[in-house]
Amino acid sequence: MTGTGRSAGILGGGVAGLTLGALLAARGHQVTVYERDRAGGKLRREEVGGLSFDTGPSLFTFPEVWRAVLARLGEPDPLDLRPLPGGLGLHHTPHGTVPLPVPPGHPLRGEWTRYLAAAAPLRPHLGTLLTTPPRLRDPTFRRASAALFGVTGAHLTAEGWLRARHFPPALAHALRTHALNAGLPPQDAPALYALIPALVGAEVLRPAGGLGALLDALLAFLAARGARVREGMEVRAVTGQSLRMADGETARHDLLVSALDPARLAALRGRPVASPPGRRTVAGVALYAALPAAAPLPATSVLPPGSFAAFRAAMRAGALPPDTLTLVHAEGRRLAMLLTAPATGQPYGPEHPWVRAQIARAERTLGVPGLLATAREVRSLSPAHYAAGGHPGGAIYGAALASWRGGPLHPQPYRLGPGLWQVGSGVHPGGGLPAVLGGALIVDRLLRESGN
């Protein structure tokens, strides 16, 4: 190991902060991660009815990004990644049910093949877009960007790209759903997100021990390199490279990296940033239920909104849509139901009329009326829960941005000033775990190039 011996403070112990902390510690930095609650951020374990549930990300895609993290750390893969039955799941659109990927023999298989062919030129370059600093002077990034724009053409949004392809209504509606990987409806999400199902391919994975195994691995990497993870340490102010905690403790580091939402970091620096509801990505309501017996459901079921136009109008107004994107994950007696909600920070729970209506819609569509009512225990997380973590209104990917500034074009600056950098979903928005892990690789590279 060759290291500087410099001290590095990481603000926020989510996946991005923990990953970057491990990368910095591997290069010899003396790393301390400050987390106001429990390590893991949105990814954590919750006990419900005697069963353990992993919250936050539910799928592990683009595993080459994880392998790049391991290669930089010099670690073998501790995750036993296994294909998730049914891939991205059954999509119950208003025009019919569509499995993604579409299997051989399905009536939409020919259109699915056409869709795959349209996205194919981008697939070899996706890892570059996820893990490489967005600098046009870099020929590798230029080639990857050219491949992206060669596929998306002049279409800035997912909706625009899909309309131009004239796919059958059922397939197009199912594909629109994946624009929300960017936390935005398809009319606002970058065109790249219309391609996600094709780019994922057959690699829809989950660790055998659940997504919590990723958290275990990151914490083990940090511990092995002498890094400290200080849970229950809320930072109240950031001045230069100095921190003031809620309990009055102060600390100074040679290097600070924020893995917080950019709006929260701005407030800590005395620079409040307003983020009205219509300018945010979506929030969510998550329900975790321990059932008395295994649910007769596939691993993943997806219920898109009936109308994406109505859904978009509601999200922009900070209102509850008539129906919403609902993901249902079933594994034995474990049932997770994830509802997309506006980022208004409201404490919607299982008894809220809108939540009850969305549950009934999902149960009716899946042919299991009253299923959730049989649960031995149900626990919920609402936009208020995510807002407490510092995300305005509970917005999962922070502020909403113009479609041309999203995805791999990285809308936020990584370096905010001397000795202060940022990483995480607010900087590298959308795409779930691959984008967050890739963002940590990008910041580690930029820090190394800058002599940190």
Strand, coil or helix: 170:
helix
Exposed / middle / buried, residue 270 (Cβ in 10 Å: 0-12, 13-18, 19+): exposed
Q: What is the pLDDT of residue 182?
A: 86
The pLDDT of residue 447 is above 60: yes
pLDDT of residue 410: 64
Question: Tokens in use for 326?
Answer: 């609902």
Question: Mean pLDDT throughout 317-328?
Answer: 97
Q: Stretch 404-423: mean pLDDT, rounded?
A: 82
Segment among 87-96, 176-185, 210-219 with least mean pLDDT = 176-185
Query: Above 60 in pLDDT, residue 1?
Result: no
Q: Which residues contact 52 (CB under 8 A, 6 or more apart)?
A: 45, 46, 210, 212
Residue with more model confidence, 214 or 263: 214
pLDDT tens profile 253-295: 999 999 999 889 999 999 977 677 778 899 999 999 999 999 9
pLDDT of residue 168: 98
- Give the span between the Cα atoms of 163 and 149, in whole angstroms: 17
Cα torsion 222, 227, 233, 237 to 10°: value is -110
What is the average pLDDT across 291-317?
97
At residue 79, the pLDDT reads: 96
Q: Is the pLDDT of residue 219 over 60?
A: yes
Among the ranges given (55-59, 340-344, 418-422), the one the predictor scored with the smallest mean pLDDT: 55-59
pLDDT at 337 > cutoff 60? yes
Mean pLDDT of 406-435: 82
Q: How many CB atoms lie within 10 A of CB 5?
A: 8
Buried/exposed code over 27-56 (b: 16+ C-beta within 10 A; e: otherwise): bebbbbbbbbeebbbbbbbeebbebebbbb
**pLDDT classification of 4: cutoffs 50, 70, 90:** low
Q: State percent of the chain over pLDDT 90.
A: 85
Give the rounded percent of residues in the chain with a pLDDT score beyond 70.
96
> Could you report the per-residue pLDDT of 381-405, keeping only the tens digit for each?
999 999 988 888 999 888 887 777 6
pTM: 0.96
Question: In this structure, are residues 414 and 421 in contact, taking their beta carbons and an 8 Å threshold?
Answer: yes
The pLDDT of 424-435, averaged and rounded, is 82
pLDDT value of residue 411: 59
Query: What pLDDT score was predicted for residue 276?
Result: 75
334-341: strand order across its sheet: 96-100, 89-93, 300-303, 326-331, 334-341, 283-290, 377-381
pLDDT at 290: 98
How much is the mean pLDDT over the chain? Answer: 93
pLDDT over threshold 90, residue 5 = no
